[in-house]
Amino acid sequence: MSIKVDTPLPDFTAPATSGVTVTLSELAGKKVVLYFYPKDHTPGCTTEGQDFRDMYEQFQAADTLVFGISRDSLRTHENFRAKQGFPFELISDADETLCRLFDVIRQKQLYGKQYEGIERSTFLIDREGVLRREWRKVKVPGHVAEVLAAAQALD
């Protein structure tokens, strides 16, 4: 099953930091940003998370929830979140259920070795659970401001 813009997303439940379980259907009535990133404590992922953190109040003002998602464990997520002071929860997708649903796993190469990793991607979901925007192959600079503008424009 693959997701498409302007279609409802299938419901999902996933474990997140602070002992929270995130269930999409329970977020109805709010706009939701899901941002997938490769790994906790790495430079690009830290910068992206800090950008979401620094604009978090503006996302709240736009009635938009923010969740970061990677394959890291909840323990690593808790550590990363505390160290960076993220006011939003991080979802652990260790079994890649959400990564596969949103089709963000890609063949990557590092130091000549092939591996499967998360392609930095962001998804904006409306109050009814419909996917409204997607950003793939995200470059961090300026990205969060673009997502915020899209969330503010969506109502």
Give the H or E element holding residue 150. helix 143-153
| Residue spans per domain, the chain | 13-153
Q: What is the DSSP letter of 16?
A: B
Alpha carbons 21 and 13: distance in angstroms, whole number: 7
Residues listed for the chain: 155
Query: Is 99 a catalytic site residue?
Result: no
Per-residue pLDDT of the chain (155 residues; tens, 9 = 90+): 579 999 999 999 999 999 999 999 999 999 999 999 999 999 999 999 999 999 999 999 999 999 999 999 999 999 999 999 999 999 999 999 999 999 999 988 878 989 889 999 999 999 999 999 999 999 999 999 999 999 999 98
pLDDT by residue (tens digit) across 110-147?
Answer: 789 898 899 999 999 999 999 999 999 999 999 999 99
Q: Give CA angle at 23 (20, 27), nearest 5°.
A: 100
Rg (CA), the chain: 14
Catalytic residue among 9, 24, 34, 45: 45
Question: Mean pLDDT in the chain?
Answer: 96
CATH topology for the 13-153 domain: Glutaredoxin (3.40.30)
The pLDDT value given to residue 115: 87
